[in-house]
Structure 1
Amino acid sequence: MSTPEGKSYKDTLFLPKTDFPMKGNLTVREPARLEKWNSEGLYSRIIAKRKAEGAPRFILHDGPPFANGDVHMGTGLNKVLKDFVVKSKTMAGFETPYIPGWDCHGLPIEFKVMQGDDARDVEPAEIRRRCETFARGWIDTQRESFKRLGVFGDWDNPYLTLNPDYEANIIRTFASLIEKGCIYQSKKPVQWSYGAKTALAEAEVEYQDKKSTAVFVSFDLADGPDSVPDGTSIAIWTTTPWTLPANLGIAVHERFVYTIGKYSNGKTIMVARDLLSDFQEKTGLTLEEDLGEIKGSELEGHQAQHPFLDRTSKIILAPFVTTESGTGAVHIAPGHGADDYVVGQQNGLDVLSPVDDDGKFTDECGLPDLVGVHVFKANQSIVELLQEKGALLGEETYEHSYPHCWRSKTPIIFRAVEQFFISIDQLREKALSEIDQVEWLPKWGRNRIYGTVESRPDWCISRQRTWGVPLPVFFDRDGEPIVSAELAKKVADLVEKEGTNVWFEKSDAELAELFGLPEGSTKCRDTLDVWIDSGSSHVAVMDAHPELSCPADLYLEATDQHRGWFQSSLMLSVGVRDKAPYKTVLTHGFVVDTETGKKTSKSDAKKKGKPTDAAHFYNKYGADILRLWVSSVDWQNEVPFSEALFTQVSQPYRQFRNTFKILLGNMRDEQVSEPAELPLIDQWIMERLQVVIGEVREAYQKYDFRKVFSTMSQFASSDLSAHYIDITKDRLYCDAEGSERRKASVWVMGQIFDALVKLLAPVLAYTAEEAWEHAGREGSIHEQDFPEVNAKYAGTEATDKVAKLLEVKAVMQTAIEEKVQAKEFKKNNEANVLLSVPANHPSLELLKDSEFAKEFFIVSEVNVVEGEALAATVSATGYQMCPRCRRYEPAVNDEGLCQRCADAVS
């Protein structure tokens, strides 16, 4: 039979119909949609809706990024992860207020604004004005980036650590610590940045490889035990020769045995027995005569002559002396090391630190030629002096990991200066106890912060900088500090009214009179460590905002915050309320370069032409691509990143978009009620959908966003595209309008669409909203609830049946591919299949239903015979293609239509 020339049946088909575009054009559509969200006040609307419903509250407290520079991909990763939490918790039925914040004070900003030619002549008040302008400018820039990324929050009312109300609460937190007896002043060695001229917190220190000159030095015993021969010296090893002018002691271990021997240089030297071989190898000296041994405990209290200064050094005992390297005797300079300081205090040693703010020697060093010389430049001079005095036993270049200032990038020095401290021992036990009340994700986070808190020294909180919250302490006429909680609270009240600039603008006398202090009192010129700023946010934000409360349900930051914000927040919260400020702490890895595996700084990335700012990627590809990338990575570990890796998520994005388009097109605005009974393939996809709903909701609950991505991607590409849509498109397009099985698929696709668009909304924030809008749904997708598992379709009956059918399909497909390769026909729908099926096969009866089998396998004919094993014999069909449905079926009229199509057009 022939088809009439030019006859078209297109108008009789129910082809997909939607204006949802396949091309995302995200860089154009997303900004327009963001503007719509902003103008509608969507975030406020969502919060108000949940509040009206009496929804339980979930609080993710935002760790503040630093207001300095564009949003790096690492910060973008962090903010998008937080947004996944906020959006998914909201759609799970929670009221989830999100108050974003910024860390505004500190060295990086002051360092930037003080790089001009007039830096040295600028008054503190002017420095602060410049810093505030700088910080607020970057806050505006970063805020627009975060909003552009689709992150929902109260962007009009963020918390800023430079706002007077926040600054006042920082000072009130300080007052609480005074009341607990935790604040004191002392001259102790601190990590000092001579590049930035300030003390540093541990979290402000970066470690880099550094080559140092290590020396072996002899100290002649001035009054050794009777068992030690006259003229014996004790050998020490140090990687910091510049600290030798500050040497006041030598530490040995009480249980170590020290060998006294005559060496090839003519000296009688004492070295730990376990290090004799290493000592000889490193110095080139040879032990020529063993003169006996002595235990370290016998040396305690004796004196050794300093190698080039007219004083002696006391021999003391210390448990930190080891035999891993060196000589078993440690040079002690209490002004230049934390351990040295502690053991020095225990043994009555002074704290000598003859180094100024610039890292240069003062006249206290006792060496006139070195006064004004930088300590690192003085190393060689000291080595030469040791050589001249006959005290140099050996010299080597020593490469080790050394702390550097995070901002100036210069090596730090340990230097004793008068500073203010928080006594950690007052808080340590309770803090350690609270750590075990918190859920740490991943679990190893517990051990990391526990170990840090367990071993950390007292917290140096004073900074010799201008841009920060003033340390609310005065000094009396004698220079003694006035540390008073009542005074600090008065300062806080003043700051809340006038801001912290008042501290710098008013004179000592004006402030003293204002606070009722004795005449002659002077204000402290230091500012507080910025980790006090951000660490006080549980008071300044969570206690201050009526929609928040402490403890927060979740803190979510990069893993470096175990020694940063997580720790500072914990210590201050324990100090204020005897409780941790969080219930759960979740950490993510750093975004690292794929080639080096290291964090890529902005400057390095720029040199290599590898952009790392988030704006580059959302402006080029769209925010939803960036969000999808975040969901796809193993973010609890280090996240390798390159533009090539980033663009790999474009394919799954197109898959999701295509899925939305197909579902929308086949729904066709038709109002179809739930069928009384569904065909098998529709039952199967509904069962699979319930599994996906359950798995994805659980993944969101566990913050396993990668599982969300993989589950949704697998469902869209395999269950939907490769099976369900492929099988049902024939009935959707070609069945008569009133066909029950066609209606069933229309209804099912509506169910799938609603579930998918809701489950993907926290990730594809813009695209899900676009699809929701094209479906004609009311409100925003972000105001909806996640789909619930429908118990009616939560079984596995259809799933089990289809699994067996897919096994049959695999056998059949192999046979079909052989014929296609042999060019006997071109496509599946031209295949005539003879199936040999064992009598006990669970799918036998289904396969005997020819119409069902032809639809499921998308072939022309299926004939079944019983046989011993499952097998398929394939040949080309003898039927012609129906011009309407393009299936190969028997023609029933002169137009060549199959029976189904003839009925549909009649």
Structure 2
Amino acid sequence: MLLCRISLVSQTLPRWGRRSQRGGGLLLRAVSFSSSRCHGVSSGEGSAQPAESGSGQGQYRDTVLLPKTDFPMKLTGQKLLDKELEIQQDCKFADLYSWQRERKAKKEFCLHDGPPYANGDPHVGHALNKILKDIRNRFEMLRGRQVHYVPGWDCHGLPIELKALGELGTSGLSPLQIRQKAREFAEGAIARQMAAFQRWGVMADWDQCYYTFDGAYEAAQLKVFQEMHSKGLIYQDYKPVFWSPSSRTALAEAELEYNAEHVSRAIYTTFPLATLPPNITKEAAFFFFFICVLTDKPSATCLMPSEYSVVKRLDNSELLLVATERTANMAALLGTELEVVSTFTGSQLEGGICKHPTIPSKEVPLLPANHVTMAKGTGLVHTAPAHGMEDYSVASQFKLSVDCIVNEDGKFTELAGPELHNLSVMNEGTDRVISMLKECGSLVKEERCVHSYPYDWRTKQPVVIRPSKQWFINTASLKDKAKEALQKVRVLPESARSSLLAMLDRRTYWCISRQRSWGVPIPVFYHRETGEALINKHTVSHVAQLFKEKGSDCWWELPIETLLPAAVLKKSKAGPVGDYIRGEDVLDIWFDSGASWAAVLEESDSRADAYVEGKDQIGGWFQSSLLTSVAVRNKAPYKSLVVHGFAVSEKGEKMSKSLGNVVDPDVVINGGKDPSTPAFGADVLRWWVAESNVFSEVQIGPNALNSARDSISKLRRTLKFLLGNVHSFDPRSQAVDPKEMHYIDQYMLHLLREFSIKVTDAYSEFDPGRVIRVLQAFISRDLSSFYFSIIKDRLYCDPEDSLGRRSCQTVLEEILDGVTRSIAPILPHLAEEVYLHAPGHDEGETLFRSGWIKSSSVWRRPGLEEAVEGACAIRDSFLSSIPGKNSAQYDLTIAIEPGLLFELMESLQEEPTSTSSQLCELMMSSRVKLCSELPRDLPSDALLKHGTFLINLEGGVIREDSAYSIAVVPTSAARCPRCRRFTAESTDCLCPRCQTIVSQSQ
């Protein structure tokens, strides 16, 4: 293709070591917990009963307080789907948005919804976008903000028109008939998409959505148009635009996609020099030479100020002019040596006149231009003012004629000559041009070029550049203001900012008129005889009011006397209405959606807190919204931009039916006909979105979905353990004051507070993936591998109403509540299901109406963290000395010299030796002896270890590196048949604690 400006030529650390130092905290070594078992009960939270059968165990089973809950460990298949729908119904998901809008709130959070295109069924790209938005909205609502989120749809445009008409085409149909069919098609797509979004659990104002074909929306859009026109930012002109022959309309750059495999035919041809440049004397030009360039029907040939050489081909003595630095490449291309005869600067060559190779009477001047590069080709570039953006700039500068030789169908016009008339420029027209150059002896070289080329984003066919009379926005005059406005916008990821700025730089004007029927009419009238446009604030305001009342169909339905009444004509100082006809063009759909801030945001000067869309909107909605808002209000319509990637297959491929890798979100939720496509439910789809790195390409497929399901299953087991152990606990009357709790319980409240802060920060950063990582680390390290394994004896075997057990239950209920709320924005169905089983709230109360994670600063007590983590450092030494063995079968002696560490350990065990102290519970041993030095009479089989622990209190004011030693020996005590700790005198005798509990229960 010759006319479309081919620029080829012219041519994780473990729990206790993850922090080096904390303000007021401790410097800890990187150590990990042993996976030892305690009391014969697995350290995993899923275990509900002892793992072994002891000889006397059965008779005491009823005295052990094992977990109880009817919360199911697992939900699959139809039961899972039924439960999600039941949760949506019982917890009033449909009413949640209106409820939170009516409540009092100090702050509002506005996430302005970018309108999805109403031209098909919902797909995983929709799921990625809508669920990501919903996660943030639900989080903001939970923490007390009033969320403003009105979903919308982009309803106009060529794709909808083409799909609606199908095989009918536009033949014989009036604009109103076309619009009716397109509207019906869009409404069907909207209904299907909306139903899917609701099934995914998206919270929104579903009764007050916005649609770009709604009359009120169109009126707001025309108000933006009128204000921009009145500022001189919208104008009509005849200039080159991207033109799609396949859809017979102009396109904006945002409507293009680039085919990297497009094949063009590049040619080198000679232009004989007819008139010497004025800066070259006749003496210097003692030879006759030719210029080698790529051409179609140029009006000029452009060059750079660089050095050029006249070279002689040694195979035929022909003289050619090429850029000096391209000489070697040209020699290789032509397969001959090139001898340099003379050199000139580009400025010396300016003003020379060449002859056109096929039209000898046509003169082609040599002109300077900044767009010429030396990367490829000859260093000289053909210039066709009507068929290239840079070419048009050169033509404007040097006042060259702009003659269009390509029509709306992409074929040569009569101006191209009889041999080319009506031939397609992309196919047979190219063949004929090359043949003509061969015939006149001007063709030097032809080669096939694979390169990136613009295609119509909907028809998938190549476009051409051709001039036509269109309506434009002068973005060049807006760019600086837009860039300044962007500096005040937070962009996630920050790397996307450079792409936004680069897109703005490339866009000197924006073609906003389209030659179709399905869209918002450009409110302009043309004089019948002169063609002069009649458009001003009076005409546009009147049309906008009609659109608001009747919708834009009235542009075709009403007589022109109604559209352009006498009063408006008088204000416009125009002639009689009979002198005018209505325009037929419609507005670019990017202008449609780009004006959404004016139609949806409640206050005229308001800005949305966030716009969240895929990276394709960098050159689309993000930019059109920015330009229109800056033009009208001198500011961006958003405070932050979140740019996410695309959903791709697990192999990283773009999804397509031909590859068979399309993932249907409906099949993900409800299952498919194939047994390999089970029903995962909506929460698995939501977990997939949350867990993904949304700032890059997001992979989806069986592996990702199975992984999401397994992660939720593990989470359910933890939640079931928590629910099972608080089943008889009422936090409103039985909760223990933190000051009276065991130290490890207080410490877990401290970790829960840390967890809640991290989760809150991650949600605030639009990073649900970090939420999941923080959650999983908290569950696996702090809960399952640590706290749950330590407290099971106290939880199962202490008296039901004892302070120690109630202390533990108080913490478990707080953890249950905190974890449930932390997952709620991601897994709303599971969170509400857990909340229905959880204690401490009234029947009918729902989680999403009860707020965010509740944590208290009083949970962090001075010295608490140091005491527990100091004990844990000793514990790690103990467990590492008996790898793979049961810690409960050993007695532990801890020796610490008098000092801070000894005092901290004394706070956990007041007496020198104990089998029931908090220190003993933490060590999970049979007995703990705390002393200032190791006894001298240790048995020969004692295992010895030494270590140090750095205490850092009050921000480093108090620092002490304390040494400790431990001695580990097998216990001589027998295992209690009830609690299974090695604290009994014999195997058939209960330990003292269990004797007391059993006797009191009889």
TM-score, normalization: structure 1?
A: 0.92
Cα deviation code 1:437-482 (max 9, x no counterpart) = 2222222333222222233121000111111111111110222222
Corresponding position: 1:550 with 2:600: no
Q: How does 1:405-804 map onto structure 2 within 5 Å?
A: 405-477=456-528, 478-506=530-558, 511-512=563-564, 516=569, 518-542=577-601, 545=602, 550-595=606-651, 597-598=652-653, 600-601=654-655, 604=656, 606-619=657-670, 620-671=679-730, 672-675=734-737, 676-776=739-839, 777-778=841-842, 779-795=845-861, 797-804=863-870
Indicate the residue corresponding to 1:128 in structure 2.
Answer: 179
Rate the CA distance shift 1:588–1:373 in 2: closer, same or farther, 3 A. Answer: closer
Partner of residue 405, structure 2: 354
The question of whether the paired residues in 2 share the 8 Å contact of 1:3 and 1:895 is answered with: no
Greater mean deviation of Cα atoms: 807-816 or 349-358 = 807-816
Match of 2:155 among 90, 104, 118: 104
Does the C-alpha gap of structure 1 residues 668 and 37 become closer, same or farther in structure 2, counting only changes over 3 Å? closer
946, 950, 958: which one aligns with 1:869: 946
Letter in 2 for 1:832: Y
Once the two structures are superposed, residues 321-350 of structure 1 have per-residue CA deviations (whole angstroms, 9 ceiling, x without a partner) of 111111111100111110001111111111
More divergent stretch after superposition (642-651 vs 676-685): 642-651
Q: Distance in 1 between matches of 2:538 and 2:207?
A: 34
1:79 aligns with 2:134: no
Give the secondary structure class of the aligned counterpart of 1:154.
Answer: coil
| TM-superposed deviation, 1:741 | 0.3
Long gaps (5+) in structure 1: 239-243, 821-826
Cα deviations across residues 165-220 of structure 1 (Å, max 9, x unaligned)?
A: 10111112111111101121112111112222211121111112212211111111
Does residue 887 in structure 1 map to residue 987 in structure 2? no
**What's 2:271 paired with?**
219
1:114 counterpart SS class: helix
Aligned-partner residue type, residue 662 of structure 1: F
Structure 1 counterpart of 2:873: 807
Structure 2 residue runs of 5 or longer lacking an equivalent are 1-52, 570-575, 671-678, 936-943, 948-964
Alpha-carbon distance in structure 2 between the residues aligned to 1:623 and 1:549: 37
Against the structure 1 CA distance between its residues 3 and 74, is the aligned structure 2 distance closer, same or farther, given a 3 Å change threshold? closer
Which piece of structure 1 moves more, 633-642 or 381-390?
A: 633-642
Give the stretch that moved more between structures: 805-814 or 152-161: 805-814
Where do 1:42-81 residues align within 5 Å? 42-49=96-103, 52=104, 54-81=105-132
2:628 & 2:974 partners in 1: Cα distance? 81
- How far apart are residue 838 of structure 1 and its match? 5.5
Identity of aligned residues (%): 35
Inter-partner Cα distance in structure 2 for 1:97 and 1:761: 19
> In the alignment, does 2:90 pair up with 1:36?
yes
1:75-104 Cα deviation digits (max 9, x unpaired): 211111111221111222211121111111
Instruction: Pick closer, same or farther for the CA change 1:311–1:801 going to 2, 3 Å.
Output: same
How do 1:130-529 and structure 2 match up within 5 A?
130-209=181-260, 210-225=262-277, 226=282, 227-229=284-286, 231-237=288-294, 244-245=296-297, 247-253=298-304, 255-263=305-313, 264-288=315-339, 290-309=340-359, 310-477=361-528, 478-506=530-558, 511-512=563-564, 516=569, 518-529=577-588
Instruction: Report the 3-state secondary structure (helix = DSSP H, G, I; strand = E; otherwise coil) of the residue aligned with 1:440.
Output: strand
In structure 1, distance between residues paired with 2:711 and 2:93: 31
What's the CA shift for 1:511?
Answer: 4.2
Q: Is the 2:561–2:577 contact (alpha carbons within 8 Å) kept by the matching residues of 1?
A: no
Is this contact kept in 2: 1:509–1:521, CA < 8 A? no
Cα distance between partner residues in 2 of 1:219 and 1:509: 57
Call closer, same or farther: CA 1:553–1:735 in 2, change over 3 Å: same
Structure whose residues are more often helix by fraction: 1
AA of the residue aligned to 1:218: T
CA spacing shift, 1:38–1:862, aligned 2, 3 Å: closer
The aligned amino acid for 2:347 is: S
Q: Following the alignment from structure 1 to structure 2, what is the Cα–Cα distance between the partners of residues 795 and 382?
A: 86
In 2: Cα distance, 1:345 partner to 1:558 partner: 37
Change over 3 Å in CA distance of 1:40–1:291 after alignment to 2: closer
Query: Residues 135 and 719 from structure 1, CA distance in 2 versus in 1: closer, same or farther, beyond 3 angstroms?
Result: same
Instruction: Using the TM superposition, name which of 291-300 and 209-218 deviates more.
Output: 291-300
Shift of 1:694: 1.6
CA–CA distance in structure 1, aligned partners of residues 486 and 374 of structure 2: 34
Partners of 1:426 and 1:868 lie apart in 2 by 75
Q: CA deviation at 1:878?
A: 5.3
Q: How many angstroms apart in 2 are the aligned matches of 1:418 and 1:6? A: 92
Partners of 1:40 and 1:150 in 2: CA distance: 9
Q: How far does residue 372 in structure 1 lie from its aligned partner after superposition?
A: 3.5
SS in 1 for 2:126: helix
1:899 aligns with 2:976: no
In structure 2, the CA distance between the partners of 1:213 and 1:118, relative to structure 1 (3 Å rule), is closer
Report how far residue 369 of structure 1 moved.
4.6
The number of residue pairs the alignment matches comes to 877
The amino acid that maps onto 1:695 is K
| TM-aligned CA deviation for residue 117 of structure 1 | 4.0
Q: CA RMSD in A?
A: 2.6
Match of 1:824 in 2: none
Aligned to 1:850: 915
- 1:20 maps to what in 2? 71
TM-score by length of 2: 0.83
Shift of 1:849: 3.8
Residues 93 and 201, structure 2, Cα contact 8 Å, conserved in 1:
no
Q: Deviations over 1:110-152 (max 9, x none)?
A: 1212321454233221111111111111111111111111111
Letter in 1 for 2:650: T
Once the 2 structures are TM-superposed, how far is the Cα of residue 390 of structure 1 from its aligned partner? Answer: 0.9
Question: Residues 609 and 807 (structure 1 numbering): CA distance in 2 closer, same or farther, change over 3 Å?
Answer: farther
**TM-aligned CA distance change 1:322 to 1:470, over 3 Å:** same
Q: Is the 8 A contact 1:694 1:789 kept in 2?
A: no
- Partner residue in 2 for 1:241: none
Contact 1:590–1:638 under 8 Å retained in 2: yes
Question: Against the structure 1 CA distance between its residues 409 and 796, is the aligned structure 2 distance closer, same or farther, given a 3 Å change threshold?
Answer: farther
Listed one character per residue, the Cα deviations across residues 264-287 of structure 1 (whole Å, up to 9, x for unaligned) are: 334222111121111221122432
Deviation at 1:869, TM superposition (A): 2.3
Q: Return the letter of the residue paired with 2:687.
A: L
Q: Match of 1:191, SS? A: strand
Q: Contact 2:821–2:831 at 8 Å: present in 1 too?
A: yes
**Partner SS, residue 470 of structure 1:** coil
Report if the CA contact (8 A) 1:354-1:363 is conserved.
Answer: yes
User: Could you give the per-residue CA deviations for residues 835-872 of structure 1, whole angstroms, max 9, x where no partner exists?
Assistant: 56554765765575432354323344456746672677
The answer (yes or no) to whether the contact 1:436–1:446 under 8 Å persists in 2 is no
Residue aligning to 1:832:
890
Relative distance call for 1:900 and 1:569 in structure 2 (3 A) is same
Alpha-carbon distance in structure 1 between the residues aligned to 2:707 and 2:484: 45
The 2-side partners of 1:431 and 1:836 are apart by: 68
Amino acid in the other structure paired with 1:572: T
| AA partner of residue 869 (structure 1) | H
Q: Structure 1 counterpart of 2:863, which letter?
A: E
